[in-house]
Homo-oligomer: A and B are copies of this chain.
Amino acid sequence: MENKGILIVISGFSGAGKGTLVKELLRQYDEYALSVSMTTRAPRPGERDGVDYFFTTKEKFEDTIAAGGLLEYASYCGNYYGTPKAYVEEMLAAGKNVILEIEVQGGTQVRELFPESLLLFVTPPSAQELENRLRARGTETEDVILQRLARAAQEAPYMRDYEYIVINDDLQRCVSEIHRIADVARSKPDRKNKFIETIGEDLKQISKGAK
């Protein structure tokens, strides 16, 4: 329990730089692992089962839903995507901090299943900066950019449901901020249950002069 990893839910606006942040965190520290999603869509060339996704059939996916085996799931373009609970639990038990990149609003659902999870919201320093980043990609039409900004506007109020707001102004500063947040979470009482029990019992014994 005390050495269990922490489930870190990372949400944020599209274009906030979550992917780069997570990649850098995984590269710099051994103690993080990325949650692998399960999907019914066909593997694309180069995608590996168990690394990029757990590829499965529609039947097996629905069995997993029915068995309560998913942390969260959604259907998109006729395919299922979800987060297998067992994989996350295995990694946590192995002491890894498991990172779950998830849609805004989904974070609070995860927290119901894993009350000790850390909910982080990643945002650019300003709306203007988000627009700049979306435009800098140079791959999207004006319509798509406005859609993404409109969606960000809808998502903004949900920032308050997250435990920490990480302002992505600088990649390295952000990576170490997330690492500090995860590190500090290990000092919470719900991660010190055994310590609290033991010291309480020992103090009782010692103060009786029995030891």
Query: Which A positions have Cβ atoms within 8 angstroms of B?
Result: 121, 123, 126-128, 130-131, 146, 149-150, 152-153, 156-157, 159-160, 162-167, 177, 180-181, 183-184, 187-189, 192, 195-196, 198-200, 202-207, 209
Would A189 and B165 count as touching, CB distance under 8 A? yes
Q: How far is the CA of A131 from the CA of B209 in the complex (A)?
A: 11
Q: Closest chain B residue to A190 by CB distance?
A: B160
Partner pick for A187 among B146, B164, B187, CB 8 A cutoff = B164
Q: Closest chain B residue to A157 by CB distance?
A: B200
Using known A-B contacts A164-B184, A165-B195, A206-B127, determine if residue A189 contacts B149 with beta carbons closer than 8 Å. Answer: no
Contacts of A187 in B (CB 8 A): 164-166, 177, 181
A-B contact pairs, 9 of them (CB 8 A): A128-B206, A149-B206, A156-B196, A157-B200, A160-B196, A164-B184, A165-B188, A165-B196, A181-B187
Q: Knowing that A149-B207, A153-B204 touch, tell me 19 more A-B residue pairs with CB under 8 angstroms.
A: A121-B189, A127-B203, A128-B206, A130-B203, A131-B206, A146-B207, A149-B206, A152-B207, A153-B200, A153-B206, A157-B196, A159-B189, A163-B188, A164-B184, A164-B188, A177-B184, A177-B187, A180-B180, A181-B187
Would B149 and A203 count as touching, CB distance under 8 A? yes
Q: Closest chain B residue to A192 by CB distance?
A: B165
Partner pick for A189 among B162, B180, B189, CB 8 A cutoff = B162
Would B159 and A203 count as touching, CB distance under 8 A? no
Would A156 and B203 count as touching, CB distance under 8 A? yes
DSSP majority for the A interface? helix
Q: Closest chain B residue to A166 by CB distance?
A: B187
Using known A-B contacts A126-B202, A152-B203, A156-B203, determine if residue A146 contacts B188 with beta carbons closer than 8 Å. Answer: no
Would B183 and A180 count as touching, CB distance under 8 A? yes
Q: Closest chain B residue to A189 by CB distance?
A: B160
Would B188 and A153 count as touching, CB distance under 8 A? no
Contacts of A123 in B (CB 8 A): 199
Q: How far is the CA of A196 from the CA of B196 in the complex (A)?
A: 37
